[in-house]
Amino acid sequence: MSFHKKNILIIGASSGIGLAIAESLQAEGANLFTASRRIPQGIKSHHITWDVTQPITGIFDTLPDTLHGIVYTPGTINLKPFQRFSLDDFRNDFEINVLGAVAAIQANLGRLRKANGASILLFSTVAVQTGMGFHASIATAKGAVEGLTRSLAAELAAAKIRCNALAPSLTDTPLAGMLLSTEEKRDSSNKRHPIGRVGTPQDFTAAAKLLLSDEGSWITGQVIGIDGGMGQLK
């Protein structure tokens, strides 16, 4: 897959899955543009300092007139019994996972239209389609991401803009640090996955590149589980 001269904006590329996708796209020749609170290390990109909870969208005006892809990776892991969630917990998860994506896409929709074939990649979670205790807030927010994915895919198809989402299970990223902080926790998490391990950020790069590339030009409106079998297997 060639990304030579393709302009790709990655939001949340400073660590985890976003950084792994950025590194992989850079190796394929993409022109990278990143937006996050911290500057990504180890990649070459035009960086915009942007906080998804305070989405000042005018700062995207420094981007080129044309974008071939947007990847939105910010997320949350907020797990506890339902009765302990506050409304502010739900609002915060929705703000980061959904409204940040909405703001970024709206601010750059004109740039995507000019590509005459662009792609939006969002992130859900295995917990939307597979009921999991203590996941009420994040599953609610990511369920909205899946709805947004399909709605945008339908609305933007005529403009040749595709929209898909990847749905991970537990992945070894800084965000999941507390869930994998001991060997006992890691071993237990590994055993819950049919493949026998939790995910790594690199597990997502091949699918991300396909969905962003010309080779994936007939794929839209899909939520694809990359979850070690967690979502479908017993």
Looking at residue 195, its pLDDT comes to 96
**Mean pLDDT for the stretch of residues 107-127:** 98
pLDDT tens, position by position, 66-84: 999 999 999 999 999 999 9
pLDDT tens, position by position, 156-207: 999 999 999 999 999 999 999 889 999 999 999 999 999 999 999 999 999 9
Q: The whole model's pTM is what?
A: 0.96
Mean confidence (pLDDT) of the chain: 96
CA-wise closest residue to 124 among 165, 163, 154, 91: 165
Whether residue 1 has pLDDT greater than 80: no
What φ, ψ does residue 140 adopt, rounded to 5°?
-65, -45
Looking at residue 56, its pLDDT comes to 84
Q: ∠12-211-67 over CA atoms, to 5°?
A: 60
